A = this chain, B = another copy of it.
């Protein structure tokens, strides 16, 4: 089966100059994929000139006259720009011409456009943003990371199902473990929303392991960690801030004087190996889950290596028919939990 990726070439800090070469490199590496490069043709075409002839049958360019700015409001992106590259990639998925959409643009706009164009899956009230984080035992999927700031227990249940299906699809695992982010392991901890969500998750038929705490994200206690978008966004950005500070301190200490610089030279291969294990580029690609189609958001600052990782994730999610799996997972959980009243009280 050929997987067709619709790639927004105009988003992100670097735009086509990084994205187009990343797509070409990805096509070389994954021979089962093809790509539609979307954006200003006059910018994209020259970047394709040097691609080897063998690749030529696996990409096409679709012109889109408008670009959504990184700081543009959701309203203006959604209503004002009908021919934006972001809108076009979503339309390509909707029309069945592509299996997945990838963009490094404005997250809020991508979420709004995807939701408007593709619609949510049956049983899903709100799409969520899921990302992968490194852990002591491999990696952890976490959601929501900022799409939903005020969540009801039912939303957290839906996130649990979506996260479990994402982990199942990307890691080819049957029953990934799901934990609910809380401030203590005991059932009595947390606020009312979390307590009720815990009950729903217990009844859902998922492999729910109960409450987990902040440090469990990196311990790898659960394969999927569920939380509302406010908490998830804070946890993610706090982690980014701490990692940046630690990197800065490490650099500062190694460049303090000639002696420490020499020590740094000796330790360089080890420090590189260490950095590699925490390299956020290896985890680039946040999934917009709960939509009738695969949409992956790359970090705006992604380089070619990182963008390729987002493409890989999108291709795998499409190959595994993730949206269908989420819909099926949702239906199965509702059957477990029982009649609607439980979900609508």
Q: Which A residues lie at the B interface, using CB under 8 A? A: 134-136, 146, 149-150, 181, 183, 190-192, 194, 213-219, 227, 229-231, 233-246, 248-250, 253-254, 256, 260, 262-264, 266-267, 269-271, 273-274, 277-278
Contacts and interface: CB of A to CB of B under 8 A. Distances in A.
Contacts of A146: 183
Contacts of A267: 254, 263-264, 266-267, 270
A interface SS class: helix
B230 A191 contact: yes
Contacts of A243: 242, 246
Which one of A150, A190, A263 has the highest number of Cβ atoms from chain B below 10 Å of its Cβ?
A263
Contact of A149 (B183, B219, B256, B274): B183
Interface centre among A149, A234, A239 (most CB of B within 10 A): A234
A57 to B, nearest CB: 43
A229 to B, nearest CB: 7
Given A238-B238, A238-B239, A270-B253, A244 B231 contact: no
Contacts of A230: 183, 190-191, 194, 231
Given A136-B245, A239-B242, A270 B260 contact: yes
Of listed A134, A150, A229, A250, residue having the most chain B CB within 10 A: A250
